[in-house]
């Protein structure tokens, strides 16, 4: 297939592009380097050094003999979006190109507004471009399990059958997002579902759990093919963060009681799920939802697994929760549709955690201890952060400044 990966320079977008390319698909990647700009703004780098996109593309061709076609631009520019679709003519579009951090969206008003404008407007421009250029394009959109929140009933895959006063209907599952970032994903879901209904588009919404891991078969082929590894309190996901904390001797930062339960999946399973979605397109006008995770754990369970896997001593520090969330709750979510399509998951075990610890240990000299602890508090309208650059949307060319090799 011809598959366009939006956000193809990012943590998941880059390894997804390589995986799809190696699987025989013609792949294009779109990025505006905003994720690298956030590093510049925060004064924090990826734990694992990452090469410039242009260097990555060249090395991939040298190593594999395959090409990935880059397009540099911003989804909030509708002219750029339409031009890329006309030039590349994708059959499927994988959409990772959004600000993905809940804490980042909760720093202050500016970051909340930026997150929603960037995410919602970019997706709206994409929907209009698909409708105008080729309505048969299959949009595979990366959503989040965080859209659902933590209801006291089972979470279904996107839709729920409701009986009310003797009448029954299938309705979108109620959403209880926990941040302005998660709210932007809910807005995306509503806009995409609406576009499918009125324009006959086809889309798969992948409500993804928390991803862990940094290495894939493709990124391991050359150091310059590596994807990023975030460990800080703003962008670092929980298991990756715990691995780095263990290696540098910092207590594992568990928020509250640690009873928060979340769906989790290995980075390699993200790649497999995306390809399965691309290869099994919905019907014209169909909007469908897959819950993309393989297992559920509490934060406390994850911390204990890291303690058990690390050969040295590891302490756990239970912090006052900076977020507004239930620290103990019911959590049972359906996730069968991707398994039905053939997903064979990599389940979390001590071997997987040991590999994460090994990545952290090889790069331990790059850890900035000041970046580890949480600095964003949900109940505050303005958090204090170390800032090395301008805030988002200032117009300064931070993308080019931040895109050099780390």
Q: Which sequence positions are flagged as catalytic?
A: 144, 181, 185
Q: Is the dihedral of CA 126, 144, 142, 154 positive or negative?
A: negative
Helix (H) or strand (E) run with residue 130 in it? helix 122-133
Given the DSSP bridges, would you call strands 167-172 and 210-212 parallel, antiparallel or unpaired?
Answer: unpaired
In whole angstroms, give the CA distance from residue 35 to residue 398: 10
Q: List own/partner pairs for 248-252 with CB under 8 A and 24 or more apart.
A: 248/360, 248/364, 248/367, 248/369, 249/312, 250/369, 250/372, 251/314, 251/315, 251/316, 251/317, 252/303, 252/306, 252/307, 252/314, 252/315, 252/316, 252/317
Residue 144: beta bridge partners?
208
* DSSP labels, 375-398: ---TT-SB-----SSPPTTS---H
In whole angstroms, give the CA distance from residue 15 to residue 268: 9
The residue among 174, 190, 44 whose CA lies nearest residue 103 is 44
- Crossing angle of helices 122-133 and 78-88, in 10° steps, is 40
In whole angstroms, give the CA distance from residue 99 to residue 234: 12
In whole angstroms, give the CA distance from residue 91 to residue 79: 20
Half-sphere exposure of 401 (CA within 13 A, CB side): 13
In whole angstroms, give the CA distance from residue 314 to residue 201: 51
Q: How far is CA 289 from CA 189, 195, 268, 280, 283, in A?
A: 9, 15, 20, 13, 13
Residue 28: beta bridge partners?
4, 69
CB 278 within 8 A of CB 21: no
In whole angstroms, give the CA distance from residue 123 to residue 95: 8
The residue among 132, 117, 27 whose CA lies nearest residue 83 is 132
């Amino acid at each position: 297939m011809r598959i366009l990966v939006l956000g193809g320079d990012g943590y998941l977008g880059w390894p997804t592009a390589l995986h799809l390319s190696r699987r025989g698909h013609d792949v294009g990647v779109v990025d505006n380097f905003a994720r690298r700009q956030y590093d510049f703004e925060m004064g924090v780098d990826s734990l694992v050094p990452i090469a410039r996109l242009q260097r990555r593309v060249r090395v991939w061709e040298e190593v594999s003999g395959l090409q990935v076609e880059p397009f540099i631009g911003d989804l909030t520019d509708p002219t750029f979006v339409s031009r890329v679709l006309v030039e590349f003519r994708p059959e499927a579009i994988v959409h990772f190109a959004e600000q993905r951090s809940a804490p980042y969206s909760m720093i202050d008003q500016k970051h909340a507004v930026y997150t929603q404008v960037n995410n919602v407007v970019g997706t709206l421009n994409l929907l209009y471009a698909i409708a105008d250029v080729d309505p048969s394009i299959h949009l595979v959109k990366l959503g989040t399990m965080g859209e659902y929140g933590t209801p006291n009933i089972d979470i279904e895959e996107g839709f729920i059958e409701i009986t009310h006063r003797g009448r029954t209907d299938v309705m979108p599952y109620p959403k209880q997002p926990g941040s302005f970032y998660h709210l932007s994903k809910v807005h995306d879901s509503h806009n995409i579902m609406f576009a499918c209904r009125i324009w006959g588009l086809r889309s798969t919404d992948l409500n993804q759990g928390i991803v862990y891991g940094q290495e894939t078969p493709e990124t391991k082929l050359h150091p310059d093919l590596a994807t990023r590894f975030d460990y800080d309190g703003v962008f670092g996901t929980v298991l990756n963060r715990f691995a780095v904390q263990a290696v540098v001797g910092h207590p594992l930062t568990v928020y509250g009681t640690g009873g928060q339960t979340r769906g989790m999946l290995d980075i390699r399973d993200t790649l497999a799920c995306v390809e399965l979605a691309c290869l099994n397109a919905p019907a014209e006008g169909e909007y469908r939802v897959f819950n993309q995770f393989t297992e559920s754990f509490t934060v406390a369970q994850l911390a204990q697994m890291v303690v058990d896997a690390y050969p040295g001593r590891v302490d756990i520090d239970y912090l006052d929760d900076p977020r507004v969330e239930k620290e103990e709750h019911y959590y049972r979510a359906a996730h069968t549709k991707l398994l039905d399509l053939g997903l064979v998951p990599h389940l979390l075990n001590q071997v997987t955690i040991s590999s994460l610890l090994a990545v952290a240990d090889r790069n331990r000299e790059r850890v900035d201890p000041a970046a580890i602890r949480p600095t964003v508090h949900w109940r505050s309208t303005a958090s204090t952060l170390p800032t090395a650059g301008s805030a988002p949307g200032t117009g300064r060319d931070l993308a080019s400044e931040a895109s050099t090799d780390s």
